Chains A and B, each alone.
Chain A
């Protein structure tokens, strides 16, 4: 069935450095790719998303890139700060409500 693989499962970076999280999806018909951030004790919250007609999208320090041919997409966080520490989830969807989720990446920002 459809699945989304997410790597790495844990990522530790020095404050101020960049972090990159990668996801690969299996269904070539997928056309919507959101990224959610989950802080301790909270539910996931959407931080950025991209649709298949766009190759890259930026919002301040975060950006997402999409390679439809290779069926993978990535989250880039620049100038990381302590508040970026959280679990990040990627997901893929075919224009329906059912998101297929990755297993999550725990991002640790070292001071």
Chain B
């Protein structure tokens, strides 16, 4: 295992639901990331947190709301999603923050289906 866990592994939700994805890293890293992975497309970086501070928001719709209460935990709050938001959501962490090419360690992802 990589030391990055994600829950739940699978989630089915309606467009009016509110749900949250959780990520926890046990590696003592300082940076955490949310990515969206759609079939046959490059990974899309959504959010980056360094030392609990958000440093990147790649034009992500407001229906996705991240939260980073400490360096080990990262949440992605979801509300009023669209069917096109169905994808695999990956969390990653790295030791070094912005400005580094440090290895990113990924969790197994949450498979999200929006009905």
Number of A-B contacts (CB under 8 A): 65
Nearest chain-B residue to A32 (Cβ)?
A: B101
- Assess the A43–B99 pair: CB atoms within 8 A: no
Instruction: Chain A residues near B87: list those with CB within 8 A.
Output: none
Q: Assess whether B61 is interfacial by the CB under 8 Å rule.
A: no
Nearest chain-B residue to A100 (Cβ)?
A: B42
Instruction: Chain B residues near A49: list those with CB within 8 A.
Output: 101, 103
Chain B stretch 62-99: residues in CB contact (< 8 A) with chain A: 90, 92, 94, 97-99
Q: What's the dominant secondary structure at chain B's contact region?
A: loop
Point out residues on A near B: beta carbons under 8 Å.
4, 9, 32, 34, 36, 41-46, 49, 51, 89, 93, 95-104
Whole-angstrom distance between the Cβ of B93 and the nearest chain A Cβ = 11
How many angstroms from the CA of A36 to the CA of B103 in the assembled complex?
10
Can you list 17 A-B pairs with a CB-CB distance of less than 8 A?
A: A9-B40, A43-B90, A45-B105, A45-B106, A46-B103, A51-B101, A93-B101, A95-B99, A96-B99, A97-B31, A97-B33, A97-B56, A97-B97, A97-B99, A98-B56, A101-B43, A102-B42
- Assess the B104–A46 pair: CB atoms within 8 A: yes
Instruction: Chain B residues near A96: list those with CB within 8 A.
Output: 98-101
Nearest chain-B residue to A9 (Cβ)?
A: B40
Q: Assess whether B45 is interfacial by the CB under 8 Å rule.
A: yes
**Binary per-residue interface labels of chain B (35-47) against chain A in the complex, 1 for a CB within 8 Å, 0 otherwise:** 0000011110100
Whole-angstrom distance between the Cβ of A107 and the nearest chain B Cβ = 14
How many angstroms from the CA of A41 to the CA of B10 in the assembled complex?
11
Q: Assess whether B21 is interfacial by the CB under 8 Å rule.
A: no
Whole-angstrom distance between the Cβ of B59 and the nearest chain A Cβ = 12
